[in-house]
Amino acid sequence: MSILPIFDHNLLARNASEDARQYVYRVIKTCILELLLPPNRKLNESSLAETLKVSRTPVHDTFFKLSRENLVDIYPKRGAYVSKIDPSRLQQAVWAHTQLGISMLNTIFSKNIDGSRHSFDASKSDEVTYRSNMKNSQLLALRQLLRQMDDLLLQRKPFSVSRMLTEYYHQLYLLADDMNYIWSSLQKIDVDMRRVLYLASENPVIIKGFHYELSELTDALLERDCDLAYQILENHFSRILLLAEPLQEQKPDYFIETSG
């Protein structure tokens, strides 16, 4: 029996540019982040290799690579297991998203994203027009993501909405231009936060609340209401952190036990 009882055929499709190691790494990491391979699940090299139609070597190597990313725990003589969610790592990730998010919003507002700033240098008019169009296009991308979330909520696909929350965060950093490089760094430390988002999406009320908050944030960006945008961002990430305790009570096997 496959170790991946639920999977997306698109996820399992191998990209032409991927070698075996890249392919296996992408699929297994995605399955862990999206809880297809839940915390504390034992990982079987042979079963995964058979499912992914590769040899055991890239699967074995992927386990060690993911262990360095706090997604897999390897125990001598016991094997590899999907790492449990660590509340302390979650807290660090939420803090980083909040602090860097405020800097990101500062950058967005300082760049005048609505394109209303004009240049008096005629030689730069084409560049100004290009940048203005680019910013408006990126703002429209936020709106498009929110509309897609709406559709997924109507279709009762909350897990897909969770995936799009991360896409929304990424789009904000793209909107901030110079800060996009920070996104890859955030991705290395927020693996537990992303898993909590997927776990929380089992509750439609919670996921609808996230969608509402990001809709309000998008409106604040369009209206250039800096103070409101900061407040919404801080409240949004604070709420993610507050979810940890009730989720841990519901799924104790998914979390590392905290003392006290």
Q: Each residue of 181-238: pLDDT tens digit?
A: 889 889 889 999 999 999 998 888 999 999 999 999 999 998 889 999 999 999 999 9
Judge whether 175 and 138 are in contact, CB under 8 Å: yes
Residue 129 has pLDDT above 50, yes or no: no
**Could you tell me what percent of the chain has a pLDDT over 90?**
63
So what's the pLDDT on residue 191? 95
Enter the DSSP assignment of 72: E
Q: Does residue 134 surpass a pLDDT of 50? A: no
pLDDT number for residue 112 = 58
Structure tokens belonging to residue 223: 């209206």
- Per the structure block, which two tokens stand in for 173? 């950093």
Mean pLDDT in the chain?
A: 86
Does 1 score more than 60 pLDDT? no
Predicted TM-score of the model (pTM)? 0.84
Residue 252, pLDDT above cutoff 70: yes
pLDDT band at 117 (very low <50, low <70, confident <90, very high): very low
The structure tokens listed for 129 are 């027009």
Q: How confident is the model at residue 97 (pLDDT cuts 50, 70, 90)?
A: very high
Distance separating alpha carbons of residues 63 and 81, to the nearest angstrom: 9
Each residue's pLDDT tens digit, 11-31: 778 888 999 999 999 999 999
Task: Band the pLDDT of 136: cuts 50, 70, 90.
Answer: low
* pLDDT on residue 259: 66
Residues 6+ apart with CB under 8 A from 238: 94, 98
All structural domains of the chain, each given as residue ranges with its CATH number in brackets, are 9-82 (1.10.10.10), 87-254 (1.20.120.530)
